[in-house]
Amino acid sequence: MAKQFDVVVIGAGPGGYIAAIRAAQLGMTVACIDAWRTADGKPAPGGTCTNVGCIPSKALLQSSEHFEQVNHHFADHGIKVKGVDLDLQTLVGRKDQVVKQNNEGILYLFKKNKVTFFNGIGSFSAYVDGGWNIKVSGPAEEDLVAKHVIVATGSSPRALPGLAFDEKKILSNDGALSLTSVPKKLGVIGAGVIGLELGSVWRRLGAEVTVLEAMPDFLPAADQQVAKEALKAFTKQGLKIVTGVKIGEIKASGKTVKVPYTDSSGAEQSIEVDNLIVSIGRVPHTEGLGVETVGLKLDERGFVAVDDDCKTNLPNVWAVGDVVRGPMLAHKAEEEGVAVAERIAGQFGHVNFGTIPNVIYTSPEIAWVGRTEQQLKTEGVDYKAGSFPFMANGRARALGDTTGFVKVLADAKTDEVLGVHIVGPMASELIAEAVTIMEFRGAAEDIARICHAHPTLSESMKEAALAVDKRTLNF
Ligand code: FAD
Ligand code: NAI
């Protein structure tokens, strides 16, 4: 006898598990199916984000930053440390523990919210009498029937044509988070978010890192003033970033990987590295879902096709997160998951794509929300800009981390904040204030009139807002 649910969610990444919890909070009977398992066969809900994405990368970024600090910056504070050793096994083991705590946390949340969890592959089998038949294939086979289905099956790393990931020499994010020794030379293809974050991790731990990027500009989606400042800082740290390249035929035989490429001047170049991270974007994951069985429509790039409300072409079938259009970010997936659960319950869930923050957790951190200066120029928007450097911020000086600045862009007539761009310490935390202001459609003057604690990095946000009106107090 098939088990009946109001909602079955396929995928327990940030899109799926949050949708399941919200639907259960709203009084529906909910099941969530997820295929991820640990090497020793235990269920590992949390998706890419928890297992091989946001969480483990931030754990490694933190540990490697400590290593960088003790080796290169403690002496500035008068702390002399001799004989610093790297125990990579413990460092990576700690990351694995952080992941495990998050997996267990999600299982606890499912219990707490009465979400029934199935560890296995979920696939559509039929639509009968207004209900979706979903098969779970895993350690225990199950047949479920759902009034509503939320597809949250996420994404997978994109490989270069003809160069499969072996996770030993040719690494996706998965292998790049679990190396057992620090490579002497590491190559990275793609200077996007993964390339910069994981390239930074292994550089800090001692690798000589070269990042090869196809686009002529560095971080074209970021504000170009921010991108320039970040590139300067990364280069100073020893991260070699080459833009405008065309990658040739990669040879991964023997001990090293040879990467030939044509540089922006047209000259033939090549690097020989111990390991190569390929981080050239991700592709939607719909394998095993039974898309053809029920005629779930995909778009030309393989994403599940959805409307603005995350509705698919099938009745009562919704899709959220990386498997649908829009930025591949955990918080975007979560917002969509909540909104869909609320729509199923007859409420008016909403996701504001204009206020989704972007963060790159390098050092300096990069964070932004809203439009860049180049976008405003292209769109012909009349705007004012105000910037404030961390060099002039007391807290940043005390921290010993004065790289970068905050920039506020506001409408020239109404003063409404249109974009905020930060490169510098704790940008990931500072951006939340800008998101709040923009969500309330506030003005630069609103930020400027808010009392900010002293001494904090957040005073730089207030000063940048004052600079929009040409009246900074501390610069
Ligand atoms: P996923 O997290 O991919 O989850 C999908 C789940 O569905 C998986 O568990 C999968 O096993 C399961 N599944 C798939 N098909 C089936 C099926 N048929 N049956 C059952 N289960 C199935 N984003 C940020 O916002 N901040 C960050 O700092 C950040 N860092 C990242 C670092 C790295 C290295 C990577 C790779 C990504 C990072 N991201 C980050 C992106 C973030 O991980 C994704 O945007 C997010 O995980 C998407 O969530 P999702 O729920 O859509 O899909
Ligand atoms: P990305 O889209 O951020 O960057 C890929 C880069 O590879 C681009 O700069 C692109 O121009 C380049 N590229 C593509 N093909 C190439 C080729 N053949 N040769 C050389 N360069 C090439 O993708 P990435 O870094 O793989 O990350 C995937 C997704 O994961 C991103 O969309 C991001 O949203 C998410 N993510 C988010 C993080 C965060 O929020 N902090 C951290 C890590 C990942």
CATH number for the domain harbouring residue 375: 3.30.390.30
Q: State what percent of residues in the chain have pLDDT above 90.
A: 98
Shared domain check, 430 and 332 = no
Q: What is residue 337's predicted lDDT score, i.e. its pLDDT?
A: 98
- The domain containing residue 399 runs over which residues? 355-468
- The last residue of a domain, from among 335, 351, 367: 351
Q: Does residue 1 surpass a pLDDT of 90?
A: no
Of the pLDDT bands very low, low, confident and very high (cuts 50, 70, 90), residue 139 is confident
For residue 163, is it within any domain?
A: no
Residues 145 and 211 in one domain: no
The span from the CA of 438 to the CA of 432, in Å, is 10
- Segment 36-65 shows an average pLDDT of 97
259 touches ligand 2 (CB under 6 Å) = no
CB 425 within 8 A of CB 73: no
Respond yes or no: is residue 285 known to be catalytic: no
177 ligand 2 Cβ < 6 A? no
Q: Which amino acid is at 422?
A: I
- 153-181: burial string, b at 16+ Cβ within 10 Å, e else: bbbbbeebeebebeeebbbbbbbbbebee
Q: At what angle do helices 54-68 and 193-204 cross, to 10 degrees?
A: 40
Residue 212 CB less than 6 A away from ligand 2: yes
Pocket test for ligand 2, best of 193, 201, 360, 366 (most atoms within 8 A of CB): 193
377 and 265 in a common domain = no
Residue 112 belongs to a domain? yes
Does residue 300 share a domain with residue 268?
A: no
In a domain, 27, yes or no: yes
- pLDDT recorded at residue 336: 98
pLDDT band for 95, please (50, 70, 90 cuts).
very high
Q: Are residues 142 and 136 in contact, defined by beta-carbon separation less than 8 angstroms? A: yes
Share of the chain above pLDDT 70, in %: 100
Residue pair 180/88 in contact (Cβ under 8 Å)? The answer is yes
Q: Does 192 contact ligand 2 (Cβ within 6 A)?
A: yes
Three-state SS for 81?
A: coil
On whether residue 164 sits in a domain, the answer given is no
24 band by pLDDT with thresholds 50, 70 and 90: very high
Q: Is 269 helix (H, G, I), strand (E, B) or coil?
A: strand
From 429, 430, 410, 428, select the one nearest 418 (Cα to Cα).
Answer: 410
pLDDT of residue 276 exceeding 90, the answer is yes
Alpha carbon nearest to ligand 2 atom 40, residue: 359
Task: For residue 295, tell me if it sits in a domain.
Answer: yes
Residues with CB under 6 A from ligand 1: 10-16, 33-36, 47-49, 53-54, 57, 121-123, 152-155, 173, 194, 285, 288-289, 321-323, 328-331, 333
Ligand 2 centroid from CA 188, angstroms = 11
Q: What is the maximum alpha-carbon separation in the chain?
A: 73
Domain end residue (candidates: 237, 263, 280): 280
Same domain, 293 and 147: yes
The predicted pLDDT at position 92 comes to: 98
State the Cα–Cα distance between residues 56 and 336, nearest whole angstrom: 23
Q: How far apart are CA 422 and CA 434, in angstroms?
A: 10
On whether residue 439 sits in a domain, the answer given is: yes
**What's the gap in Å between 151 CA and the centre of ligand 1?**
12
- Inside any domain, residue 474: no
Q: Which pLDDT does position 78 carry in this prediction? A: 97
Residue 130: its pLDDT value, please?
A: 85
Q: Are residues 219 and 235 in the same domain?
A: yes
The 10 Å Cβ neighbour count of residue 410 is 24
Based on the fold, state whether residues 319 and 421 are members of the same structural domain: no
Specify the pLDDT at position 75.
Answer: 97
In this structure, the answer to whether residues 102 and 185 fall within a common structural domain is no
Residues 46, 145: one domain?
yes
Query: Is residue 327 within 6 Å of ligand 2 at its C-beta?
Result: yes
* 13 and 119, same domain (yes or no): yes
| Residues 6 or more apart whose Cβ sits within 8 Å of residue 365 | 359, 422, 423, 424, 425, 426, 427, 428
Element (H, E) at 133: strand 131-137
Task: Identify the CATH number of the domain in which residue 85 sits.
Answer: 3.50.50.60
Same-domain status, 23 and 64: yes
Rounded average pLDDT over 321-326? 98
Residues 37 and 76 in one domain: yes
Instruction: Work out the mean pLDDT of the chain and round it to a whole number.
Output: 97
Q: How far is the CA of 170 from the centre of ligand 1 (A)?
A: 21
120: Cβ–Cβ under 8 A, 6 or more apart, which residues? 33, 35, 136, 137, 138, 139, 140, 141, 142
**Helix H or strand E segment including 394:** helix 394-399
Given 324, 351, 378, the domain boundary residue is 351
Q: Give the model's confidence band at 468: pLDDT under 50 very low, under 70 low, under 90 confident, else very high.
A: very high
**How many domains does one find in the chain?**
3
pLDDT for 140 equals 82
- Please write the tens of the pLDDT for every residue from 373-399: 999 999 999 999 999 999 999 999 999
The protein residue whose alpha carbon is closest to atom 33 in ligand 1 is 53
pTM of the predicted protein model: 0.98
Residue 165 domain-assigned (yes or no): no
- CB of 361 closer than 6 A to ligand 2? yes
